[in-house]
Amino acid sequence: MPHDHSHHHHHHVDQDAGDARVAWAVAVNMALTVAQIIGGILSGSLALIADALHNFSDAISLVIAFFARKVARRPADARMSFGYGRAEAVAALVNYTTLVVLALYLIYEGVMRFLEPEPVDGWLVVWIAVLALVIDVATALLTYSLSKDSMNIRAAFLHNVADALGSVAVIVAGTAVIIWGWTWVDPLVTLMIAGYILWHVRAEVGEVFDLLMLAGPDGLAAEKVADAIEAVDGVEGVHHVHLWAMQEQQPTLEAHLVISEADWSRADAVKAAVKQVLRDEFGIGHSTLELECPPNVCVGEVRFGHAG
């Protein structure tokens, strides 16, 4: 018992430390956004304003991620019997959607700037972009370890990585203006930032959709799981298999087991053996199994999902 209490306390401390890191990341990103917007207006750099808007979306994404973390930790109740864990997936989807809208806006502004070029103060652009790069790297370091276990924090972390690359691109644009007077590099970099944002949203958003659409967890082949169940002694067949992730890193299974007539007297032992296989071989800790005897098997059963 004391061991459990200690573990719970340690977990609570970890969560608080994680929340503090996210809060710090929000604060520095908000401060940077203000500095970049002022610098972008004073220098006439669209790329710097593009980076500022992306940075602002970083800060907002971290705010969303912060509150989603809080909500996700709430215990299950009568209304939300599955718990609140999916709040993190919803937050990730919101963050990716805002990134797409932002990227489309930047594309529009970049094209307009190509058509109507404006002068750019290269030195101011470079210095503010260097400051932005330092803060982006610091923010990424604050959220990196948290991103490994949460798609919500990972979405916010990827905002930051994209923004750091955007800052590097802005430094390149400012340098091109200083050395060669190439103001066209500024809108070109803006379009590149937008393109990169869209590319990384496309690469990451599928995982969020899969979770929200109750898809089978990554790396778990439903057919293989069903075959392993049928290989358990006493199981004659399995149908109505539902395999999904309740939340990230929490695979869940529901199925109807057909127990052979000869083994019906030990049906509970067969069920326990199946649950053990699911836990040991596939990491499925939560499974609901309905037992059927051959004379009373479901009519029109299907292996996955349910008939009709």
pTM equals: 0.72
Residue ranges and CATH numbers for the domains of the chain are: 2-212 (1.20.1510.10), 222-296 (3.30.70.1350)
Q: Are 225 and 278 in contact (CB under 8 A)?
A: yes
Average pLDDT, consecutive stretches of 10 residues, N- to C-terminus, the chain (308 residues): 44 60 78 82 80 76 79 88 84 85 86 80 83 82 73 72 79 86 84 85 84 84 93 93 84 93 92 95 92 84 79
Q: Do residues 286 and 246 lie in contact, with contact meaning Cβ atoms separated by under 8 Å? A: yes
In tens, the pLDDT along 219-275 reads 888 899 999 999 999 999 999 999 998 777 789 999 999 999 899 999 999 999 999
Per residue in 70-83, is it b (16+ CB within 10 Å) or e — as a string? Answer: eebeeeeeeeeeeb
- At residue 14, the pLDDT reads 59
Other beta carbons within 10 Å of 43: 24
Q: Which of 207, 217, 204, 127 is nearest to 167 (CA)?
A: 127
pLDDT value of position 308: 57
